[in-house]
Structures are given as structure tokens and as C-alpha cells.
């Protein structure tokens, strides 16, 4: 393999010949980024141990495909994580290929200590290292290093900076090691463990295996070269992208939930009992309280004081007269309740943000919604006095009243932060709410508020879930979701504290977001190296379910999951990547200067449901034949239609497979990778078996798209991307852009698009169900807003047309029915109103298997 040599003259030539100072800065940054090797904290190999059948246990041989040798000295170094107590077994074995001598490192536990034994198999233990278990496992990953000192004829074992040395042993001057982790030959006991960043070598040569694979059995070094083999592997990088289901439970009455970082326990409690799940050992237990919780639970908001190991539950408001405790604490050792306060704020503050000042034993809440108003006040509960009070005297920037915000504390516990939510400057609900994407820093000592940034959001609207997580001084994590969707999805975001730039990480978590008591909360346990999410859902604000998910640190996007191994060490590949990047930047600057090319990146554009309006009462016509036969156009609403540059209908050229491929690439943000494209198109086949099919499909699609002007399918940086100019038209793209930048005519144009029919009509494939749902659920709030405007303005014909459009998306939408029949009656069309109502009732009965609960007279 060629060593990489960077020619400085190439850098200077590229940097100075083509571009100005800004361009040189971009290139230098890219060169720096590509040259610096990155080791993700997310990688690792998890071993299947004693809980699995013998043939399912994990084994990993470092050099299955190559022999290596060392002289004088070499070191085996790696990071180890043990998952459960009472675990034992072989961590690794080292065989010498020149003789029959074998050494192994064996793990055991005894009397609260972790025992690491370095054994010469068949003879004796050379090193017995005893380390306090609690002390050792304060961090999830521990550093282990074994040095083979061939000159001094001994071993040195270093575990988390503690060094142990063996007596003299007979070691050869020339060593050809064969290293096997986990199950090996007759050593079948394997601890429940993970390893990562395995390095073996000396000052002359060294090999590093980060273990960043996400599939398969072949193991690669840091440069992507295949060396080893793993049997029955579980690749940890997958657990940094896909949320893992840990635990689920349910309660028939109002309940609360929380996480205790001190004990690693999740609590799910109601008035009478508590369920406890231990994240560290995966054990669950349920306890009944000797005396029930003294606070009448409604929302069961709570926080934990880890210093005293007590859980505090509080209620702010009761709809019925209530005399009794409003704050109580639970001892998390003997699980006995204690009344803390009967102080009642008498103010409904749903979906407020909160944080706990442990140093001063004060719990803060900000914001919330109730009685048709948003709160913009800080309120504080003192654990010592048992009283609530409003906190005034803040200086600096003002935080607008809001709810659905998130709050948290950074590394400095006298600094708190508030992010996002919904509200407005006046605090009055009647004015209308605005989605907020701002971020504030709060100094609890000086009581100064500093606005760090305010984003111009260019995606579908979201609100943050509870809990901000600060892994370092530069970023924070937040869970966000679209609360206006009944069946929504929670997505993890990483924001920059400095400027608000963000990354979208991991896959999503489903949430049923209809009820007030439904919420999700994010936690970070640094010792375990995991993010935890508690999703508590309710369909009636009484019964609830709790689902717990975990994600290994550091979370990654899908692109990183599929980025290893790569041949990044090869000079030619590197040069091609660099030149391709430079060329891409040149194209970008050319595009900026000409300003005529747009790249469509899927559904993720800003959607503002508050600005569009209906300005007249003229009828909206279903698109005319001229509209449907415009040149260079593809229509995805209703029947699939395609017209080339000469207005010829070439819909027949798009087979079902080509339609799938086109829609899949078009709808994915920033394009789609080859593996993901293959997985979606041919889910029942492995990657190696679909390579030819994928190539044929892509070539056919390119050929068909060549019949149009202004659209091109390209492959860039491992992803298929559709690029277009204004010469090309697609109603799906038009729809997204109209919703992102609404003007007076947006509603009319959108209705005209939708009246062609349902989105992707005829493509009844599970592949597109999520996209169809997302498009329709984004359109519905927009159309319902326009329907309300038409009804309030007494534009009856407009109301009927909009209602008709809504029924295309949601055949059982009650608001559309009520508006349409009222408009028909207002237009003196009672018979049409009755026919419409009867038709709706018939559909309702067929789909819901029950009668519609309203009569026509009650609606009118």
C-alpha cells in the first residue's frame, strides 16, 4: 500500500490559480478536514457472551488475513466496556505462531472487585490485578494495555492508569502474535463486553482498528484495509444511529416518570406504586407504596435531587377545588413519601420548561400555557421553604411568552438555557402563536439573560421536547418533533451554542402527541456514554404508557453510519475526492453568480401556515388540459403524467420501477446513498445481488430524464441527487415551495395542484407510505387554516372548494364537513348539504364501524 505524500505545490496551485481569498480558505479547510483522521466515539464491537448458545458467541481475530511479527517489544492496547455484574470469561488470547505458548487475559468478579488475570495457559497466573468495581466503572470505557517486553522478559499490564508487572518469563526475541478476542477454541466463556480502538505495535510499526464497521464480518484498519474477522459481531456504531428499545410499561392512572443518574434507574410511578428499571443491568422491579402518594396526581411533573436521592412531584393547577398537598418527595431508598408543601400556584402552565439549581436547592420553571395565555415568567420553588414565588429583576434580553419550550443547564451549574417553543410577544393566545427557534443563556447569579441566536427556520415546524443536554461547551442536544401531528416522530438535533448551526442525528422515534400529558424527555448519562429518552404517551390524559430508548454516544447521521470502510488512504482516491470537491465549489460559485439554478432537496423546506390568505371568492378550477401538458413537466398528484420538452406525453416510458426510483431520489434530502437506495428498492436482496439491477435502473432513469430540459440525475460524493432548473416543472416541488413561501395566491395554486388527486396516486407501495403521510399531514394544517379564513369571511364557495380538497386528503375530516354543509345552506343549497352529509355518514360507518355522532340539524 502506498504511503500518502502531500505535494505542497499542488495545494498552492489549486489555492491560487482559480479562486480569490475566500475560495482559498474553503480549499484549505477541506484539505485540512480530509487529511485529519477522525475516530468516532461511536464505534466498537459488542460481544455476545454466556447468555447466548456457544455457536452464537462472538470471536474476533485481529489478523485473519495477514501475519505480523515484532522484535524487542510490542503493545496491545484497547478500550473495554463491561456491561453487567457477575460477568466472567476470556477477554483475549495471544498465541505465538512459532511455539505452543498461549497467554490470555481472563475477567472475573469477587467481593466487589474486578479481577483481571493474565495467565500462561496450562501453567499459572502471571498477573492478578484487583481493582475496586465501583471505582473502575465510573466511566463506561476503561483503557487496557498489555506490553510484551521481549528484552526484559516480562509483561506489564496497565488498567486505567494502574500498572501491574509479571515475574520473569521465557519470551522469544522474535514474536509472531495471533490475537483473538472473545470465544477461542475451548475457551467458550465470554464476558458481556465491548471493545474499541484496538491498537497493536511498537515504535517501528503499528496497526489501529477503530471497529467502525456497521455490518458484515470483515474488520478493517483505520485506512479501510481488511485484516481481521469477527464471528457473530454486534457493531456498536449502529447503536449510535438507531435508538434501542430498552423498556416499556403502562399505568391505568395518572403517572410520572424520570431518570436518576446517581442510581442509573428509571422511575415510572402513579398514586399507588412505582416501576423501576435499571439501565446498567437491565433489571426491572415493581413496588407498591405502603402509603400512596399524598399529592393528587394530574400531570405528575417531577424532578430528582440526586444529593438527597429524593424524587419531587408537583402539581400547579387543579380544574376542581382541591385542598391538599401539592408537592411531595419520595425517598428513593425506602420508597416512602413525605409531604413537602401545600402551596398551589393556581395557574395552569402546561408544557413549561424547567431546570433544578441543586446548589441552592431551588427548582425553576418558565413559560407554559393555560387560560388562553402563554406565560413569560420565571417561577421558583424552594425545597427549603416549600414555597412558590415569581422571580423578577431579570436584566438583558427579554424572552417572549411561550410553551412547548425546553430548558436545561450546562457544565457550569449556575448557567441555564432556554430553547425554542411556541408563543408570541403579547402572551395572548387570541393573537395567534408563532414557532420560535431562539436560544437564551441565563446567569442565575447576576440574573442576566443573553439571547445567543434566533434561527430563520427552513424546515417543517417543530418544537423541542423536555430536557437540553450539553455534552461539551460548544453544543447541545435537543429532541424535536411536530406536535401538530397526531402520529409524529421525534428527531435528535445537535445545535451549536455559538451560532445555532445544527446537525440531524440518528433515526426517529414515534410519538402519539394528541394529549396534554404526552411528553418526551432527554437525558445524558456520561458514565454510561448514552442518551436516554423517556416517551410517555396518553390517549385520554389518564392512562399512559412509558417507552424508554437509548442511543450510544456520540450520535451520528446516516451518512457516517455508511461511511466506513473506505479507501481514504489511497493517494489517487484522495486526489480525486479533492479535485471533485474543488470542482464542486467552482460550480457553486458559478451558480451563485448566475443565480439561475436550484437544487431540490426534498420535503425539508420552511413551512409557514400563518401567512397565506384567500383574497377572492372566484372558483378554483381543476387543472386544464393545457396545464397538464406543459413541456418539461412531471405531475405526481393524481395520475402520474410526464411531458417532454416537446409537450409529448411520455408517461409510458416510466415503468413502475422507474417511478419508484424517481420519487425516492426526488423526495430524499441531499440525495440518497447507493446502499440505502438498494435497500428501499430491493428490500429482500443483499447489496451484492442488487448491484446490477441498481445500475440498470439508474441508467434507464437517466435516459428517460434526458427527454426533458432542466433536470439531471447525478451521482456526487456517493449519493444520487436530482438537480433541476426553472425550465423543469414538478407539481410536488411546486407544492413544497408554495408552502415554504406563501403569497396571496398560494392557497388557490395549492388547491389546484391537490385537486388533480392524491399524492403518488397509483403507487400503492409500503415504500412511499411515510412520504405520502408526511405530505398530506403537512398540507392539512395549511388547508384547515385557509378553510377557517374562508368561513370567517363568509366566502361560501371558497369554503366548499377547500373542504372538497381536504376530503381528498382526509375523507373523514369533521371540520371540513361542518364548513361545507354550513356553506351549502348559506348558499340556499339544502338538498346538496343533506346529500353531502349522508354520503359522509355512509363513509364514516364503513370505515369506523360505528355511526357518526352528529346530526345534520346539530351541525347547521
Q: Residues near 286 by Cβ (< 8 Å), separated by ≥ 6?
A: 273, 274, 275, 276
How far apart (Å, rounded) are the C-alpha atoms in residues 13 and 28? 12
**DSSP state letters, 574-589:** HHHHHHHHHHHHHHHH
- Give residue-wise pLDDT tens across range 801-836: 899 888 888 889 999 999 999 999 999 988 888 888
Q: Residues near 17 by Cβ (< 8 Å), separated by ≥ 6?
A: none
CA atoms within 13 A on the CB side of 606: 13
pLDDT recorded at residue 578: 52
Q: Average pLDDT for residues 570-589, to the nearest whole number?
A: 49
Share the mean pLDDT of the chain.
Answer: 84
Q: What phi-psi label fits residue 447: left (phi over 0), alpha (psi between -120 and 50 degrees) or beta?
A: left
Question: Residue 507 belongs to what H/E stretch?
Answer: strand 502-512
- Give residue-wise pLDDT tens across range 719-758: 999 999 989 999 999 888 887 776 655 678 888 888 888 8
Whether residue 229 contacts residue 60, with contact meaning beta carbons closer than 8 Å, is answered with yes
Q: Is the pLDDT of residue 180 over 60?
A: yes
- Give residue-wise pLDDT tens across range 656-712: 889 999 999 998 867 898 888 888 888 877 777 788 888 889 999 999 999 999 999
Residue 615: count other Cβ atoms within 10 Å of its Cβ: 14
C-alpha cell recorded at residue 762 = 397509483
Q: Is the pLDDT of residue 627 over 80?
A: no
How does DSSP classify residue 354?
E
Pairwise pLDDT comparison (685 vs 489), residue with the higher score: 489
Residue 129: count other Cβ atoms within 10 Å of its Cβ: 18
* Proportion of the chain above pLDDT 70, given as a percent: 87
Pairwise pLDDT comparison (838 vs 520), residue with the higher score: 520
Q: Average pLDDT for residues 566-572, to the nearest whole number?
A: 45
How does DSSP classify residue 184?
B
SS (HEC) of 67-106: CCCEECEEEEEEEEEECCCCCCEEEEEEEECCCCCEEEEE
Q: Average pLDDT for residues 209-221, to the nearest whole number?
A: 91
Whether residue 537 contacts residue 512, with contact meaning beta carbons closer than 8 Å, is answered with yes
- Give residue-wise pLDDT tens across range 345-378: 888 999 999 999 988 999 999 999 998 899 999 9
- Give residue-wise pLDDT tens across range 128-177: 999 988 888 777 789 999 999 999 999 999 998 899 999 999 999 899 99
Location of C-alpha cell 522469544 = 172
C-alpha cell recorded at residue 735 = 407544492
- Give residue-wise pLDDT tens across range 554-565: 899 887 887 777
Q: Is the pLDDT of residue 471 over 50?
A: yes
Q: Residues near 278 by Cβ (< 8 Å), separated by ≥ 6?
A: 263, 264, 265, 266, 284
Pairwise pLDDT comparison (619 vs 769), residue with the higher score: 769
- Give residue-wise pLDDT tens across range 26-79: 443 343 333 333 344 568 999 988 788 898 999 999 998 788 999 999 999 999
Q: Is the pLDDT of residue 603 over 60?
A: no
C-alpha cell recorded at residue 306 = 440526586
Whether residue 469 contacts residue 523, with contact meaning beta carbons closer than 8 Å, is answered with yes
462: pLDDT confidence band, cut at 50, 70 and 90? Answer: very high
pLDDT recorded at residue 310: 96
pLDDT recorded at residue 580: 55
pLDDT recorded at residue 122: 86
Q: What is the CA radius of gyration of the chain?
A: 31
Residues in the chain, total? 860
β-pairing, 234-235 vs 244-251, is: unpaired
**DSSP state letters, 766-828:** GGGHHHHHHHHHHHHHHHHHHHHHHHHTT-HHHHHHHHHHHHHH-TT-HHHHHHHHHHHHHTT
CA distances to 156, 170, 175 from 152, in Å = 11, 10, 14
How far apart (Å, rounded) are the C-alpha atoms in residues 354 and 363? 7
pLDDT recorded at residue 429: 86
Q: Is the pLDDT of residue 569 over 90?
A: no
C-alpha cell recorded at residue 56 = 452464537
- Give residue-wise pLDDT tens across range 382-411: 999 999 999 999 999 999 999 999 999 987
Phi and psi torsions of 339, nearest 5°: -70, 130
480: pLDDT confidence band, cut at 50, 70 and 90? Answer: very high
Question: Residue 705 belongs to what H/E stretch?
Answer: helix 687-705
Q: Is the pLDDT of residue 566 over 70?
A: no
Q: Is the pLDDT of residue 25 over 70?
A: no
pLDDT recorded at residue 575: 45
Residue 514: count other Cβ atoms within 10 Å of its Cβ: 16
Whether residue 165 contacts residue 154, with contact meaning beta carbons closer than 8 Å, is answered with yes
pLDDT recorded at residue 628: 58
pLDDT recorded at residue 745: 57
Angle between helices 731-740 and 769-792 (to 10 degrees): 50
Q: Is the pLDDT of residue 5 over 80?
A: no
Q: Which of 229-233, 282-286, 583-587, 672-676 has the lowest mean pLDDT?
A: 583-587
Q: Residues near 478 by Cβ (< 8 Å), separated by ≥ 6?
A: 406, 419, 420, 464, 465, 468, 469, 492, 493, 495, 522
End-to-end, the C-alpha distance of the chain in Å comes to 81
Whether residue 481 contacts residue 513, with contact meaning beta carbons closer than 8 Å, is answered with yes
Q: Residues near 486 by Cβ (< 8 Å), separated by ≥ 6?
A: 512, 513, 514
Dmax over Cα atoms in the chain, in whole Å? 105
Whether residue 169 contacts residue 149, with contact meaning beta carbons closer than 8 Å, is answered with no
- Give residue-wise pLDDT tens across range 61-74: 999 878 899 999 99
C-alpha cell recorded at residue 531 = 442518551
- Reference 608, options 748, 485, 740; nearest CA is 740
Amino acid at each position: 500500500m502506498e504511503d500518502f505524500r502531500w505535494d505542497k505545490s499542488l495545494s498552492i496551485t489549486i489555492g491560487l490559480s482559480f479562486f480569490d481569498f475566500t475560495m482559498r480558505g474553503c480549499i484549505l479547510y477541506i484539505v485540512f478536514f480530509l487529511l485529519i483522521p477522525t475516530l468516532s466515539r461511536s464505534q466498537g464491537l459488542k460481544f455476545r457472551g454466556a447468555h447466548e448458545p456457544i455457536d452464537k458467541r462472538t470471536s474476533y481475530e485481529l489478523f485473519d488475513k495477514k501475519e505480523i511479527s515484532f522484535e524487542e517489544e510490542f503493545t496491545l492496547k484497547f478500550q473495554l466496556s463491561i456491561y453487567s455484574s457477575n460477568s466472567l470469561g476470556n477477554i483475549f488470547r495471544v498465541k505465538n505462531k512459532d511455539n505452543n505458548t498461549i497467554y490470555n487475559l481472563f475477567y472475573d468478579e469477587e467481593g466487589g472487585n474486578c479481577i483481571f488475570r493474565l495467565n500462561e495457559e496450562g501453567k499459572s497466573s502471571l498477573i492478578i490485578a484487583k481493582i475496586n468495581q465501583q471505582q473502575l466503572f465510573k466511566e463506561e470505557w476503561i483503557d487496557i494495555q498489555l506490553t510484551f517486553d521481549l528484552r526484559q522478559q516480562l509483561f506489564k499490564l496497565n488498567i486505567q492508569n494502574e500498572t501491574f508487572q509479571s515475574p520473569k518469563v521465557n519470551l522469544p526475541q522474535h514474536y509472531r502474535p495471533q490475537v483473538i478476542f472473545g470465544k477461542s477454541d475451548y475457551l467458550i466463556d465470554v464476558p458481556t463486553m465491548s471493545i474499541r480502538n484496538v491498537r497493536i505495535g511498537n515504535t517501528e510499526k503499528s496497526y489501529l482498528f477503530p471497529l467502525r464497521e456497521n455490518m458484515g464480518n470483515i474488520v478493517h484498519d483505520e485506512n479501510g484495509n481488511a485484516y481481521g474477522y469477527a464471528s457473530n459481531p454486534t457493531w456498536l456504531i449502529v447503536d449510535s444511529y438507531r435508538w434501542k428499545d430498552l423498556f416499556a410499561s403502562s399505568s391505568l392512572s395518572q403517572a410520572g416518570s424520570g431518570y436518576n443518574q446517581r442510581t442509573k434507574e428509571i422511575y415510572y410511578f402513579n398514586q399507588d406504586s412505582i416501576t423501576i428499571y435499571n439501565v446498567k443491568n437491565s433489571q426491572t422491579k415493581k413496588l407498591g407504596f405502603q402509603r400512596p402518594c399524598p399529592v393528587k396526581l394530574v400531570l405528575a411533573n417531577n424532578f430528582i435531587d440526586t444529593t438527597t436521592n429524593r424524587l419531587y412531584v408537583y402539581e400547579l393547577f387543579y380544574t376542581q377545588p382541591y385542598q391538599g398537598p401539592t408537592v411531595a418527595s419520595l425517598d428513593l431508598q425506602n420508597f416512602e413519601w413525605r409531604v413537602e408543601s401545600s402551596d398551589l400556584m393556581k395557574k395552569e402552565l402546561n408544557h413549561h420548561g424547567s431546570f433544578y439549581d441543586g446548589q441552592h436547592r431551588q427548582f425553576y420553571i418558565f413559560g407554559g400555557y393555560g387560560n388562553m395565555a402563554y406565560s413569560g415568567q420565571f417561577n421558583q420553588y424552594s425545597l427549603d421553604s416549600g414555597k412558590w414565588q415569581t422571580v423578577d429583576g431579570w436584566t438583558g434580553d427579554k424572552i417572549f411568552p411561550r410553551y412547548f419550550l425546553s430548558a436545561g443547564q450546562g457544565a457550569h451549574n449556575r448557567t441555564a438555557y432556554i430553547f425554542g417553543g411556541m408563543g408570541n410577544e403579547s402572551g395572548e393566545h387570541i393573537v395567534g402563536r408563532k414557532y420560535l427557534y431562539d436560544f437564551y443563556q441565563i446567569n442565575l447569579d447576576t440574573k442576566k439573560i443573553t439571547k445567543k441566536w434566533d434561527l430563520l427556520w427552513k424546515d417543517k415546524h417543530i418544537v423541542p421536547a423536555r430536557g437540553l443536554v450539553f455534552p461539551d461547551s460548544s453544543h447541545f442536544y435537543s429532541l424535536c418533533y411536530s406536535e401538530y401531528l397526531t402520529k409524529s416522530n421525534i428527531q435528535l438535533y445537535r445545535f451549536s451554542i455559538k451560532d445555532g448551526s445544527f446537525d440531524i442525528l440518528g433515526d426517529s422515534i414515534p410519538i402519539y402527541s394528541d394529549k396534554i400529558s404526552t411528553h418526551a424527555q432527554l437525558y445524558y448519562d456520561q458514565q454510561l456514554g448514552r442518551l436516554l429518552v423517556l416517551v410517555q404517551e396518553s390517549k385520554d390524559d389518564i392512562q399512559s404508557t412509558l417507552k424508554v430508548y437509548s442511543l450510544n454516544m456520540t450520535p451520528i447521521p446516516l451518512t457516517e453510519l455508511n461511511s466506513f470502510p473506505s479507501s481514504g488512504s489511497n493517494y489517487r482516491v484522495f486526489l480525486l475526492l479533492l479535485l471533485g470537491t474543488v470542482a464542486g465549489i467552482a460550480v457553486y460559485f458559478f451558480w451563485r453568480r448566475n443565480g439561475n439554478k436550484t437544487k431540490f432537496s426534498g420535503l425539508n423546506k420552511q413551512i409557514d401556515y400563518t401567512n397565506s390568505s384567500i383574497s377572492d371568492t372566484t372558483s378554483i378550477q381543476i387543472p386544464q388540459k393545457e396545464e397538464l401538458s406543459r413541456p418539461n413537466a412531471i405531475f405526481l398528484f393524481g395520475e402520474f403524467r410526464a411531458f417532454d420538452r416537446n409537450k409529448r406525453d411520455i408517461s409510458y416510458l416510466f415503468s413502475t420501477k422507474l417511478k419508484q426510483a424517481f420519487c425516492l431520489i426526488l423526495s430524499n434530502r441531499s440525495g440518497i446513498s447507493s446502499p440505502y437506495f438498494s435497500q428501499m428498492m430491493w428490500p429482500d436482496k443483499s447489496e451484492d445481488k442488487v448491484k446490477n439491477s441498481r445500475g440498470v435502473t439508474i441508467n434507464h432513469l437517466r435516459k428517460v430524464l434526458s427527454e426533458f430540459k432542466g433536470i439531471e440525475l447525478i451521482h456526487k460524493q456517493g449519493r444520487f441527487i436530482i438537480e433541476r432548473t426553472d425550465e423543469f416543472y414538478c407539481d410536488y416541488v411546486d407544492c413544497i415551495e408554495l408552502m415554504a413561501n406563501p403569497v396571496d395566491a398560494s392557497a388557490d395554486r395549492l388547491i389546484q395542484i391537490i385537486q388533480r388527486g392524491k399524492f403518488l396516486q397509483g403507487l400503492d407501495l409500503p415504500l412511499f407510505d411515510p412520504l405520502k403521510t408526511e405530505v398530506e399531514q403537512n398540507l392539512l394544517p395549511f388547508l384547515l387554516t385557509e378553510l377557517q379564513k374562508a368561513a370567517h369571511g363568509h366566502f361560501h364557495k371558497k369554503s366548499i372548494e377547500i373542504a372538497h380538497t381536504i376530503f381528498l386528503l382526509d375523507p373523514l375530516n369533521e371540520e371540513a364537513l361542518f364548513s361545507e354543509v354550513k356553506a351549502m345552506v348559506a348558499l340556499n343549497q339544502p338538498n346538496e348539504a343533506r346529500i353531502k352529509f349522508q354520503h359522509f355518514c355512509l363513509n364514516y360507518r364503513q370505515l369506523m364501524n360505528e355511526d357518526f355522532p352528529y346530526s345534520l340539524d346539530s351541525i347547521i
